Amino acid sequence: MKPFIPSALRPSGVSRWWIAVLCGLVATLSACMDEEKFDTRAGDRLRFSVDTLSFDTVLAGVDTPTRYFMAYNPNSHGVSITDVSFAGGASGGFRVNVDGMYINHGMTQTIDCRGGDSLRVFVELTPTASTGEVCSDITVQLRFTLSNGETDAVVLTATQQNVEVLREQHITGDTLLEGRLPYLVYGHLTVDEGATLTLAPGCRFYFHTDAYLRVEGTLQAIGTGEQQIVMRGDRTDNMFEGQPYDRVPNQWQGIRFTGSSYGNHLVYCDIHSGNYGLVCDSSDTSREKLRLENSVVHNMSKNCLTLTSCQTFVGNSQISNAGAKCVYILGGVSDFIHVTVAQFYPFDGIAEEALYFANESSGRDYPLEKMSFRNSIITGYNDDDIMGWYSDESHGVAYNYSFSHCLLNTPKVDDDPGFVACAWESDSKETKRAANFPHFNLPELIFSFALAEKSLAVGIADPQLTSIYYPTDRLSRPRLTDGQSDAGCYEMQPAPKEAK
């Protein structure tokens, strides 16, 4: 029995003719494709999407992300590439893959490229670790040779940042790190109990993914305005055009001061783009655990500063942009003078408050013996950026807070002795929240917390307190030239007057 075929699908004489024609065309095209010759003619050349592929600054010993460029055959016929190699034979740490073939001291077979077609060339780099010069340039030529003898090249270049590697390192005795080279930390850098780690001005630390600094003893990180101490992640490339990974949080972990750690002093430190920022574990509140001055803690995926039942002093510093709280205080003794706490975290549509403080957590009491903010700014995107928690069951547990001469983004509080001479932000104000700082570049994730001239923080600080603690701001600019002082860590700088 013949299979049943609906009449609409049965080929007529005309249909058979078209089928025959189509089959002939397919056969002809296949024959043409099969017969394409890669007999590279005299004068044939390749073209490339770039003359130079630059990796900018890379860290010695750290693999770079893969980049690529295109090799084009602009001719109407195929060409054969007989060799891809590094000029002089030295790769400089670059690794190359052309059309799926790994190039290592020459090619194993010829690569053909059809007329008008292209090849993708992938490039990675692992600079050789070195303790020589701080920076050195790497430049090699990647040469492409066709079967006609023509040779073209693309330059591969990078600036190598040499580093000193610290891998699962314990500081067991008093140690000075001078910082001639930056430090690349893998795993952890731990200051053991009883030891003091001193960091010289200008020290730079690059922490690999999940790396952290743990302080069981004491950390003395005393930078200067000209030579700040920097702690950041080790990725030096861009996530997107104009957005380096260095401006993205969670590139490393952070710094934890354990219960046995006291007497830590951080001055002119720039600590940014980590996970948990600075964490101070519970300890004896009669001893100072951390003194943070003239520093920046910025862009953390969790809290920027976490203080649990300890004694801390923070002055002339910026604590900004957290995936959770900028400042989290659970009990203890803490004093903040001329501090800018700013919650403008751009990576989450629902930002938590800038400041949270409490005397109880999970049913456990944490007496808030003292929490004082003076001459400071606490603000952010929220309608209310200050959250205080007092447990009704914690009768008699200390809950002592005060805000004096501060700019606060929270509903105005009346008849509370804990608030003295403060300015209050609200939706009715012309200048509020982000408008206090007119220098945000959100597309490139650049935040400047310098004050706008119309900011309510201008002139509200207590000048007597300023003269005692910080007569210059975090950038070493005088505060009291007009007899007044501004809240926060930056003194407002009037715009230059135009010449008449």
- pLDDT level of residue 132 (50, 70, 90 thresholds): low
The confidence score (pLDDT) of residue 9 equals: 35
Structural domain total, the chain: 2
Whether residue 489 lies inside any domain: the answer is no
Q: Determine what percent of the chain is predicted with pLDDT higher than 90.
A: 76
Are 265 and 169 within one domain?
Answer: yes
**7: CB partners within 8 A, 6+ apart:** none
161, exposed or middle or buried, with CB in 10 Å at 0-12, 13-18, 19+?
A: buried
pLDDT mean over 329-356: 94
Are 241 and 127 within one domain?
Answer: no
Q: Minimum mean pLDDT among 35-39, 303-307, 490-494: which range?
A: 35-39
CA distances to 47, 63, 79, 430 from 40, rounded to whole Å, are 14, 37, 5, 71
The confidence score (pLDDT) of residue 224 equals: 97
The confidence score (pLDDT) of residue 394 equals: 64
Whether residue 229 lies inside any domain: the answer is yes
- pLDDT level of residue 37 (50, 70, 90 thresholds): low
The confidence score (pLDDT) of residue 11 equals: 44
183 touches 200 (CB < 8 A)? no
The confidence score (pLDDT) of residue 131 equals: 63
Are 217 and 268 within one domain?
Answer: yes
Region of 13 (left: φ > 0; alpha: ψ -120 to 50; beta: rest) is alpha
CA dist., res. 181 & res. 496, Å (int): 39
CA dihedral angle for residue 385, residue 324, residue 284, residue 168, rounded to 10 degrees: -150
What residues are paired with 41 via a beta bridge?
none
CA dist., res. 313 & res. 372, Å (int): 10
What residues are paired with 210 via a beta bridge?
none
Any alpha helices (H) in 268-321, and if so which ranges?
none
Whether residue 408 lies inside any domain: the answer is yes
Residue ending a domain, choose from 128, 160, 192: 160
Are 263 and 382 within one domain?
Answer: yes
Are 259 and 288 within one domain?
Answer: yes
pLDDT mean over 80-101: 92
First-last CA distance in the chain: 104
Residue ending a domain, choose from 160, 194, 229: 160
- Which domain CATH number covers 68? 2.60.40.10
Q: Minimum mean pLDDT among 84-88, 132-136, 147-151, 181-185: which range?
A: 132-136
The confidence score (pLDDT) of residue 142 equals: 95
| Average of per-residue pLDDT values in the chain | 90
pLDDT mean over 491-499: 79
Are 449 and 391 within one domain?
Answer: yes
pLDDT beyond 80 at 73? yes
pLDDT beyond 50 at 328? yes
pLDDT beyond 80 at 381? yes
Whether residue 18 lies inside any domain: the answer is no
pTM attached to this predicted model: 0.86
CA distances to 204, 246, 267, 269, 300 from 223, rounded to whole Å, are 11, 21, 6, 6, 22
Whether residue 483 lies inside any domain: the answer is no
The confidence score (pLDDT) of residue 239 equals: 84
pLDDT beyond 70 at 398? yes
Q: Minimum mean pLDDT among 119-133, 297-311, 395-409: which range?
A: 119-133
> What are φ and ψ of residue 3, in 5° steps?
-65, 150
pLDDT beyond 60 at 389? yes
- pLDDT level of residue 1 (50, 70, 90 thresholds): very low
Are 148 and 179 within one domain?
Answer: no
The confidence score (pLDDT) of residue 430 equals: 77
68 touches 94 (CB < 8 A)? no
Are 171 and 156 within one domain?
Answer: no
Residue ending a domain, choose from 96, 127, 160: 160
Are 349 and 240 within one domain?
Answer: yes
pLDDT mean over 196-213: 97
Whether residue 13 lies inside any domain: the answer is no
pLDDT mean over 117-134: 86
**493: CB partners within 8 A, 6+ apart:** 450, 477
Are 55 and 179 within one domain?
Answer: no
Domain with 341 in it: 164-469
* Alpha-carbon 199 to chain mean position: 22
Whether residue 485 lies inside any domain: the answer is no
Any alpha helices (H) in 348-402, and if so which ranges?
none
473 touches 268 (CB < 8 A)? no
- pLDDT level of residue 3 (50, 70, 90 thresholds): very low
pLDDT beyond 80 at 428? no
Whole-angstrom Cα Rg for the chain: 32
The confidence score (pLDDT) of residue 237 equals: 87
Are 137 and 171 within one domain?
Answer: no
Kindly provide the residue ranges of all beta strands, DSSP E only, lying in 323-442, ordered along the sequence.
327-330, 332-337, 340-343, 355-358, 360-361, 364-365, 368-374, 377-380, 386-389, 399-404, 407-408, 419-420, 423-424, 439-441
Any alpha helices (H) in 329-411, and if so which ranges?
none
pLDDT beyond 70 at 361? yes
pLDDT beyond 50 at 8? no
470 touches 480 (CB < 8 A)? no
DSSP codes, 443-465: GGTEEE-PPPTT-TTTT-S-HHH
Are 225 and 80 within one domain?
Answer: no
Highest average pLDDT, of 20-24, 126-130, 277-281, comes from 277-281
Whether residue 431 lies inside any domain: the answer is yes
